[in-house]
Structure 1
Amino acid sequence: MAQLSIHQLSKRYKTGEGVSDISLEVQKGELISLLGPSGCGKTTVLRSIGGFLDPEGGDIRIKGQSILSMPPEKRPTAMVFQSYNLWPHMTVYENLAFGLKIRKRKKEDIHYAVTRALEMVRLSGAEKKYPTELSGGQQQRIALARALLLEPEVLLLDEPFSALDAKLRLEMREELREIQAATGMTMVFVTHDQEEALSISDRIVVMNAGKIEQLATPKELYDHPATLFVASFIGRMNFLKGVADGGEARVEGLDYPLKTDLSGNVILAVRPEEVQIRDEHEAGMQATVRQIMMLGHYAEISLDTQHGIVKSFLPREKTEQLQQGQSCKVHVGRTSIFSD
């Protein structure tokens, strides 16, 4: 039995935004991300699970039991928001102990649980501090610890790291993954940051205009995007136009056919790391080196072709002989093909 089941969930707003017919199962101990652009419906799904929105149709079950009739405080969920929502007049210890006191836990049990939670988020010794004395990253850690103390069946995270700087976001991602592995907690994480989703998720739900475009592991999404939207949204991608006849697709300038079951106009999606640069006398699409940008251990090469600018990622050592304005040929490796 799935830990969390969403069946044909629908919720539409007067603006037309929202979700329609969303079905999803999350297994126990899984960290699943809802990923998509603003307005795609990912936060609507999350808030419906938490009880902060009433859906117009469908059902939400945790461990087989419908939770739709339960108010947020009675649901076996806890939510971590983008804003930390800490009580400014309470110390860190009081903020963390508050929910446990309401549940009438024993004083010694509360002390043990709070101490353990602070160790888990690496903030031991911060008990007597007030939220205003903490950095943004530390406040978010406390908000996460407070949610973990409630021992929810499903932990909901609504873009919790988006207000932090890049370095802190990276650290918090790593810590969240470590906590999730240590506790085995089921988590649903909302983000619009594809790198964030790819780095921490067991599976990713890519959403667009209130629908699920694809549900897959990060590797499957990156290597085998199911739709043109997913191909354009996940990672960097080149798009080349071609024609297919039901067995093969041909792209002008490439002298070899590509296997496909599509017919008519098609779009070839190629990752920059699959774009190979060859000598002028070899087979391939004619190109001219437009720009070479060194990005650490690899370089981004911009190439002028008959299909417009094509990007290639190459190891730094393979770019030593390339020069701006140089003529070359382009060969592509693994591709995804979509109807145009």
Structure 2
Amino acid sequence: MSIQLAVRGMTKRYKTGEGVSGINLEVNKGELVTLLGPSGCGKTTVLRSIGGFLEPDSGDILIEGQSVIKLPPEKRPTSMVFQSYNLWPHMSVFDNLAFGLKIRRMPKADIKSAVADALRLVRLPGAEKKYPGQLSGGQQQRVALARSLLLKPAVLLLDEPFSALDAKLRHEMREELREIQTQTGLTMVFVTHDQEEALSLSDRIVVMNHGHIEQIAQPQHIYNEPETLYVAEFIGKMNFLEGVVDEERIRVGPLAWPNTKRLSGQVKVAVRPEDVSLGKEPFQGQGLTGTIKQIMILGHYAEVSVELDKHGVIRSFQSKEAVQLLKAGQKVHVGFAAMIAYPNKR
């Protein structure tokens, strides 16, 4: 698989001291890679540097093997979809979409055909004569996406394009973007702070924190095997308990696991809520005990909060059927199907 985009040792620092340092990233042809992290972590700085809207202090950016670091945005084989749709309100949908093609001196007949094809791809056939003000937010974002697709970029950059939409529409647009990406084979770099969006969309996720990369991996790997305590805290819901290494075993109360990472001293033990079992009897003759504090029904499952006798509050995901046997104030035994341990520090 060929490398479509490569970021080599990129650093960009602002006067405030914020920015990114030592960013190394490769994106394969036809891959959708998401830069994920909280506000201020540097993900948009990386994206805007790839697009040419920011000039890095050092490092290089290569697209299809060619350095683009000295090229302005309009000369780069990239196109960006912004959070704000950036459509010209006085121009029809057709004119908004045709503008870039006219600059490239494409024949009129070809422009008309290309615009019609792009609108079909984003599920807005026949919308050529409408104006942006006549469209919903979701429709405007589809037009903005179609405009970028028409330029046939080597890399399509998307900067939180769905964050202004409501939850249902965001979900629909994610599905549509993934479908478009599959149909076109476009290479995409997507920026979001929404972990659900990243997990559902991406071939790989780049988790960022304070200007550097914490982990790059496929969504399932990021979720199941977060490499650092930060990634474990940021991706999905997670329970954390204080543990200790004792005779090559990691212990939390009576529970013990192999110390595969060769940690020492105090450790943080991370457990996903879906890996927390609740029962009336001890699990395999041992386990923690606690009292159910709260039961929250969340559609097809419930989140049960348990006050452990010595280890704080832990949350468990239970099925609708299982939760019918539970109630607040009930004493329960707690077991873990899986855990991950980290050094007890950032």
Query: TM-score higher than 0.5 here?
Result: yes
| Aligned length in residues | 339
For the Cα contact (< 8 Å) 2:51–2:78, is it kept in 1?
yes
Is 1:302 aligned to residue 305 of structure 2?
Answer: yes
For the Cα contact (< 8 Å) 1:49–1:60, is it kept in 2?
yes
Is 1:288 aligned to residue 291 of structure 2?
Answer: yes
Is 1:324 aligned to residue 328 of structure 2?
Answer: yes
CA RMSD of aligned residues (A): 1.0
For the Cα contact (< 8 Å) 2:94–2:128, is it kept in 1?
yes
Compared CA separation, residues 280 and 327, structure 1 to 2 (3 A): farther
Any residues of structure 2 matched to 1:8-157 within 5 Å, and which? Answer: 8-157=9-158
Q: Secondary structure at the match of 2:255?
A: coil
Q: Secondary structure at the match of 1:8?
A: strand
Q: Distance in 1 between matches of 2:188 and 2:89?
A: 27
Shift of 1:196: 0.3
Instruction: In structure 2, list runs of 5 or more residues that go unmatched.
Output: none
4+ residue stretches of structure 1 with deviation over 6 A? none
Q: Distance in 2 between matches of 1:258 and 1:326?
A: 31
Q: Distance in 2 between matches of 1:169 and 1:321?
A: 36
| Higher deviation after alignment, 133-142 or 321-330 | 321-330
Is 1:314 aligned to residue 303 of structure 2?
Answer: no
Shift of 1:246: 7.0
TM (normalized to structure 2)? 0.96
For the Cα contact (< 8 Å) 2:12–2:57, is it kept in 1?
yes
For the Cα contact (< 8 Å) 2:80–2:148, is it kept in 1?
yes
Shift of 1:296: 1.4
Q: Distance in 1 between matches of 2:282 and 2:98?
A: 72
Shift of 1:316: 1.1
Which residue in 2 is equivalent to 1:257? 257
Which residue in 2 is equivalent to 1:201? 202
For the Cα contact (< 8 Å) 1:246–1:263, is it kept in 2?
no
For the Cα contact (< 8 Å) 2:249–2:256, is it kept in 1?
no
Q: Distance in 2 between matches of 1:278 and 1:258?
A: 24
For the Cα contact (< 8 Å) 1:250–1:258, is it kept in 2?
no
Any residues of structure 2 matched to 1:208-247 within 5 Å, and which? Answer: 208-245=209-246, 247=248
The alignment-based identity, stated in percent, is: 64
Shift of 1:286: 1.1
TM (normalized to structure 1)? 0.98
Q: Distance in 1 between matches of 2:256 and 2:322?
A: 24
Shift of 1:189: 0.1
